[in-house]
């Protein structure tokens, strides 16, 4: 994996334990307690993110990222602070 891919995986893992996600799974499981609720939420969320990632990757493939005048640490810093 490249550094960018590792960063995406790390941010995705962090995103998965955000309070809003935990609250959504908790809210679903309190109404109808089932071990399957968390799995279905994860699959649905992952599916939506994957479907949105394909057009985003296609658009980014057309952008010359090296032509942007941003220093490399700036987007990484914003991602880390978020």
Per-residue pLDDT of the chain (82 residues; tens, 9 = 90+): 677 777 777 877 787 788 887 787 777 777 777 777 777 877 887 888 888 888 887 777 776 666 666 666 666 666 666 5
In the chain, where the domains are located: 3-81
Sequence-distant (≥ 6) Cβ neighbours of residue 13 within 8 angstroms: none
pTM for the full model?
A: 0.49
d(CA 77, CA 58): 24
Q: What is the DSSP string of 4-26?
A: HHHHHHHHHHHHHT-HHHHHHHH
Q: Residue 27 phi/psi, 5° resolution? A: -65, -40
CA dihedral 49, 52, 53, 54 (to 10 degrees): 140
Q: Residue 9 phi/psi, 5° resolution? A: -65, -45
């Amino acid at each position: 994996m490249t550094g960018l891919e590792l960063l995406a995986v790390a941010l995705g893992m962090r995103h998965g334990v955000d309070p809003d996600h935990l609250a959504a799974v908790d809210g679903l499981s309190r109404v109808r307690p089932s071990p399957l609720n968390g799995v279905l939420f994860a699959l649905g969320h992952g599916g939506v993110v994957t479907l949105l990632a394909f057009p985003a990757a296609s658009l980014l493939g057309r952008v010359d990222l090296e032509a942007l005048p941003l220093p490399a640490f700036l987007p990484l810093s914003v991602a880390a602070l978020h």
